[in-house]
């Protein structure tokens, strides 16, 4: 079996483990488990919605250039994490 990657949920700027059961993502060619995808409960979703509502006024108040920089920084972070995961699988 291939090694799997556990994926968390981002709520209020913090990564956490969802409280629902995970969902296995399978490689259709080998049926190896590729990842465990979080399955959020109603409580997880409600917490995420509350955090988003609380953050929205500040986010909306930022100039579009600053919002763009924030989105780019998040994308860069995700790309770096993906590269670490892919390179880690090669060693």
| Per-residue pLDDT reduced to its tens digit, 28-53 | 999 998 887 878 889 989 999 999 99
CA distance 39 to 21: 6
Residue 1: pLDDT over 50: no
Question: Is the Cβ–Cβ distance between 9 and 38 less than 8 Å?
Answer: yes
CA distance 11 to 54: 12
**The whole model's pTM is what?**
0.62
Q: For the chain, what is the radius of gyration of the CA atoms?
A: 17
CA distance 60 to 9: 23
Q: By three-state DSSP, how is residue 64 classified?
A: helix
Instruction: Check residues 81 and 70 and name the one with the higher pLDDT.
Output: 70
């Amino acid at each position: 079996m291939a090694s799997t990657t556990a994926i968390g949920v981002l709520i209020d700027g913090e990564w956490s483990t969802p409280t629902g059961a995970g969902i296995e993502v399978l490689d259709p060619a080998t049926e190896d488990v590729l990842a465990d995808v979080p399955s959020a409960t109603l409580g997880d979703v409600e917490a995420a919605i509350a955090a988003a509502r609380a953050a929205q006024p500040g986010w909306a108040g930022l100039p579009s250039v600053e919002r763009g920089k924030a989105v780019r920084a998040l994308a860069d972070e995700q790309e770096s994490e993906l590269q670490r995961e892919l390179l880690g699988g090669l060693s």
